[in-house]
Amino acid sequence: MDVALHFKVQDLNARYVHAIDEDRLEQWPEFFAEDGRYRITTAENVERGLPLSLMSATSRAMMRDRVNSLRNANVYESQRYRHAVGTPLIEPGSDGVVRAVTNFLVARIMHTGETTLFATGRYEDRIAVAADTPHFLEKTVILDSRQIDTLLAIPL
């Protein structure tokens, strides 16, 4: 069990969720490799082997587009998220890449102040930990609930 390795992953997770929770969305793509993959799906889709995604990006460029449209279109109601992220379960791999599975709970705070438990689930990540700045090669957000909020707009 490698404490330093776990620590690196926890630190990456903490910086990732803080960037989102503090509405620094422009930083969000920077947590990924240039050709990094990001996808939101549901536990039900995963169990049924369905390749459906609620949100999907296969490069930083696509993620930047996503953020730009969020900022410009302004179609989503003013809201912020607050994440609680668990201790990651880590499987060391080869070539400085690890797999990590991490629980999350996300609260959503609307402009009115109304706070709800918005989303729960797990992250399944592939992380380049040997890089100068550890980052995600792939991040799959697997939601527990299949009840999709049509406001789902900000990355999780």
- Is residue 29 part of the contact set for a copy of itself (CB under 8 A)? no
- SS3 state of residue 84: strand
Q: Return the range that interacts with a copy of itself (CB under 8 A); candidates 28-36, 48-56, 65-73, 109-117.
A: 109-117
- Is residue 151 part of the contact set for a copy of itself (CB under 8 A)? no
Would you say 53 and 38 are in contact if contact means Cβ atoms under 8 Å apart? no
- Left (φ > 0), alpha (ψ -120 to 50) or beta: where does 81 sit? beta
Comparison of 57 and 136: residue with beta carbon closer to a copy of itself: 136
- Is residue 120 part of the contact set for a copy of itself (CB under 8 A)? yes
Encoded one letter per residue, x for contact with a copy of itself by CB under 8 A and - for no contact, window 49-88 reads: -------------------------------x-xxxxxxx
In the numeric block, which tokens belong to residue 144? 């527990």
Strand partners, 117: 107
Would you say 113 and 136 are in contact if contact means Cβ atoms under 8 Å apart? no
- Is residue 6 part of the contact set for a copy of itself (CB under 8 A)? yes
